[in-house]
Structure 1
Amino acid sequence: MATGEQHPDEPTPDAPAPAADDGRPGSSAAPEGRADEAALTARAGDTLVVQRADGSIHEPNGDGEPTMTLAETMHASRHHEHPGDLEPPQRIALPPVITLLLGIAGGVVAIAGMRQVSSIVAPTFLAVTLLIAVYPLHKALRRVVPSALSALVLVILLYGILASLVAGIALAAAQFATELAKPTYSDTYSDLVDGAIDLLAGFGVTQDQIIDGLNSFDLTSLSGVASSAVDALTGTTSLLLFLLTVIIFLAMDAGGFPRRIDAIHRSRPDVADALVDFGTRVRKYWIVSTIFGIIVAVIDYVALLALGVPLAATFGLLAFITNYIPNVGFVLGLVPPAFIALLDGGLSTMLWVIGIYCVANFVIQSILQPKFTGDAVGINATTAFLSLVFWAFVFGALGALLAIPFTLLVKSLLIDRDPRSRWINQFIASAPDDSSSAQPV
């Protein structure tokens, strides 16, 4: 060997002697105290990894790569990948049929659950929507009076409205039952039945068939139905007390609603925007429905008064209340005055009542009211009717009254908030948006 040359395997004079154990397989035993740390050694590609007793991985070469388990390192080695480049696990997609069936099953369970708690959910939602409707008044009062006094005024106002409506319905039902019990109407009813029998006999219907069909119906039974309605309304004391309690707590918390919405907006802006949109729509719905309900009630009252139909004020109040029920509310407000008009003034008076009610309802609710509501509701007549049937099935009478607000809540949170679901608006909206993501057929 030449002078000055050095064998590659020989250490330089300045280099320290190699360690007795480098931690690789086949080397001498690990130093005392490290046997529990270097429990297992494996080589992944060119990277030396050591699995300690606690399951973590130590990389003696200090290349700075993230610590991994031995199984992940060996998996990366088999696929010729760097240990830090592992792909995340893929989500397993269910077949569309299974997804649809699971969605239907979940919906059925949710509906059954809502029906079980309808006595709590429906009154609470009514209180929430009413508070939303009068919330601008609460904000205005807070500028001039303390927050507690503003909340008290809000509670008195809302409870006064609810108590007046319930008392008005009970009074109307009681007066209707009393009117039907008059003896003069019984004679008129008998004459009408005789005339109907003669008319139907000309079409081949026998008298026995007609009498059998009418035996189960008389004015006494109809009066009993009205009396039962009065009893049911007077039994709503517990409902009113529950509503009063909910309104009190909501009014106490109303001052913090803007801060809560701001807090939600910081983390979930889409949810916050949907809630604000729902509040705006439902407030406009209640206000516009109330204004046009008053207009319809005044027109019906004046018409009934001019025709000499008894209980004109009672039927005007009934028209105002039923105006909140979409589609069928008009029919519910028409049948009682038309029947009384038939008994009191004859067929011609009844036809006049029906004609005036139909014209007023068509002009106001079908032409004028939509122009003022604009996109406040934003659902077509078919959707409104199906919503009425569905929510009445779930929540009963209050569901019929709150059909539109419930639908607005679902629309804002589940359809308008999610861009992937906005195509549904093409089927339920009163004026579909041409700029939506749905493609023309």
Structure 2
Amino acid sequence: MNTKTKNSSQILLTLACFVIVVAGISAAQVIVIPFLLSVFIAIIIAPLMFWLHKKGLPTLLALLTVIAGLLLIAVLIGYLIGSSVQSFSNNLPAYQDKLDQQTTYVITLLDKYGVDTKTLSLDKFLKPGVAMKFIAASLNSLGSMITNGFLILMTIIFILLEAASFPSKIRAARGKQKNPGSQKLEVNVFVSNIQHYIAIKTSTSLATGIIVTVMLFIIGVDYPLLWGLIAFMLNYIPNIGSIIAAVPPVLLAVIQFGFAKAGAVAIGYLCINILIGNIVEPKLMGRGLGLSTLVVFLSLIFWGWVLGPVGMLLSVPLTVTVKIALDSREDTKWLSILLGPEIRNDKKT
């Protein structure tokens, strides 16, 4: 009876600690979000710094080279966003006129087939201003993501400076324990798997962004580089990320060309998502880094609730990190299996 009481107390204590930690993270998201973004970016670029160091560059020089490249990319992205917002604002009257024409065409077509558009109040749903505000808000939200750029950059620098000495710190911390070799192996496997996951996800997101950019450029949709950048970033959000990324360019295609080409843009996004998200990425990931569909959906809701839009962006990386941590220890591997995808028994019975 005492054992059962003890186990129940431990479960309640664990749940209480979990609730307190989650509440603390949510309350401190002003600090937590830039830190998580910094860690995420640092994990992506750390292998490049280590590669430069292996090629003979001193650690500090390798770090400065990587940071210079990161700054260049940030400046280019900032310029792209700023110029796109400015150009969109200048073209806004023309876009509104075109969308008004498309709206009138749709209402006229529906009236022709006997649909009472006044009863349906379609004019409220097809107001040009609503679509224009949506696209403008999408562009402005990108600018707000770089407001903490300096804090994120400084955090990345310090993380990369510590990254070189982190393995030796782990060895020193574990050196006096009974089985330091297995502990070192667990840490190495944990870090390696996280880097492997983020490298694959970044590669597939980059491929998605490039294909989207080329597709929109061929079709003739304005700002193809911007929509490719959005597709790259939102590809980290599972399931709904690609849908959100497709909405602004599809709306813009409706304004520019009408519904036929807009449909082609939507189909193009769908094909890209099926190819990259459902075929290429699962094969590269393998089962060890995969998550069940239910876990992906729940993690999207949970991290979005805790950290807002950035939490949705990082929901899968954060959950995969937890899964990898559980998988790196024998006593918690069963939890990792529960979080993973369906186990298929290929053996013939």
Please tell me the TM-score bracket, short chain as reference: 0.7 to 0.9
Q: CA deviation at 1:120?
A: 1.7
Distance 1:250 1:424, change over 3 A: closer
**Counterpart mapping for 1:41-190 below 5 A:** 92-94=3-5, 100-143=11-54, 144-165=56-77, 168-169=80-81, 171-172=83-84, 175-176=87-88, 179-182=91-94, 183-190=96-103
Q: CA deviation at 1:410?
A: 1.5
Q: CA deviation at 1:252?
A: 2.2
Question: Which range moves more in the overlay, 276-285 or 351-360?
Answer: 276-285
Matched residue SS, 1:215? helix
- Please give the alpha-carbon distance, in whole angstroms, between the structure 2 residues aligned to 1:137 and 1:320: 20
Kindly provide the amino acid, as one letter, of the partner of residue 292 in structure 2: N
1:425, 1:432 within 8 Å by CA — same for their partners in 2? no
- 1:257 corresponds in structure 2 to 166
Higher relative contact order (CA 8 A, sep 6+): 2
Matched residue SS, 1:310? coil
2:102, 2:258 within 8 Å by CA — same for their partners in 1? no
Distance 1:177 1:115, change over 3 A: farther
Matched residue SS, 1:326? coil
Question: Which range moves more in the overlay, 349-358 or 170-179?
Answer: 170-179
**Counterpart mapping for 1:281-296 below 5 A:** 281-296=193-208
1:292, 1:369 within 8 Å by CA — same for their partners in 2? yes
Distance 1:250 1:324, change over 3 A: same
- 2:276 corresponds in structure 1 to 364
Q: Encode CA deviations 1:8-58: one digit per residue, 9 max, x unaligned.
A: xxxxxxxxxxxxxxxxxxxxxxxxxxxxxxxxxxxxxxxxxxxxxxxxxxx
- Please give the alpha-carbon distance, in whole angstroms, between the structure 2 residues aligned to 1:174 and 1:386: 38
Q: CA deviation at 1:261?
A: 2.5
2:303, 2:312 within 8 Å by CA — same for their partners in 1? yes
2:186, 2:329 within 8 Å by CA — same for their partners in 1? no
**Counterpart mapping for 1:313-332 below 5 A:** 313-332=225-244
Q: CA deviation at 1:155?
A: 2.6
- 1:422 corresponds in structure 2 to 333
Distance 1:228 1:187, change over 3 A: closer
Query: Which of 198, 222, 232 is residue 111 of structure 2 equivalent to?
Result: 198
Q: Encode CA deviations 1:192-229: one digit per residue, 9 max, x unaligned.
A: 45147538963xx6614415xx4376332443344445
- 1:27 corresponds in structure 2 to none
Distance 1:103 1:340, change over 3 A: same
Structure 1 unaligned residues grouped into runs of 5+? 1-89, 435-441
Distance 1:423 1:163, change over 3 A: farther
1:281, 1:408 within 8 Å by CA — same for their partners in 2? no
**Counterpart mapping for 1:277-316 below 5 A:** 277-316=189-228
Question: Which range moves more in the overlay, 359-368 or 293-302?
Answer: 293-302
Structure 2 unaligned residues grouped into runs of 5+? none
- Please give the alpha-carbon distance, in whole angstroms, between the structure 1 residues aligned to 2:85 and 2:2: 60
Q: How large is the Cα RMSD of the aligned pairs?
A: 3.2
- By percentage of residues, which structure has more helix? 2
Q: Percent same amino acid among aligned pairs? A: 25
Question: Which range moves more in the overlay, 251-260 or 129-138?
Answer: 129-138
2:323, 2:339 within 8 Å by CA — same for their partners in 1? no
- Please give the alpha-carbon distance, in whole angstroms, between the structure 1 residues aligned to 2:271 and 2:211: 11
Question: Which range moves more in the overlay, 242-251 or 222-231?
Answer: 222-231
Q: Encode CA deviations 1:219-268: one digit per residue, 9 max, x unaligned.
A: 32443344445555444555111111211212222221120222244336
- Please give the alpha-carbon distance, in whole angstroms, between the structure 2 residues aligned to 1:381 and 1:111: 23
Kindly provide the amino acid, as one letter, of the partner of residue 43 in structure 2: I
Question: Which range moves more in the overlay, 219-228 or 308-317?
Answer: 219-228
- Please give the alpha-carbon distance, in whole angstroms, between the structure 2 residues aligned to 1:196 and 1:100: 63
- Please give the alpha-carbon distance, in whole angstroms, between the structure 2 residues aligned to 1:344 and 1:215: 21
Kindly provide the amino acid, as one letter, of the partner of residue 131 in structure 1: A
Number of aligned residues:
340
Q: CA deviation at 1:137?
A: 2.4
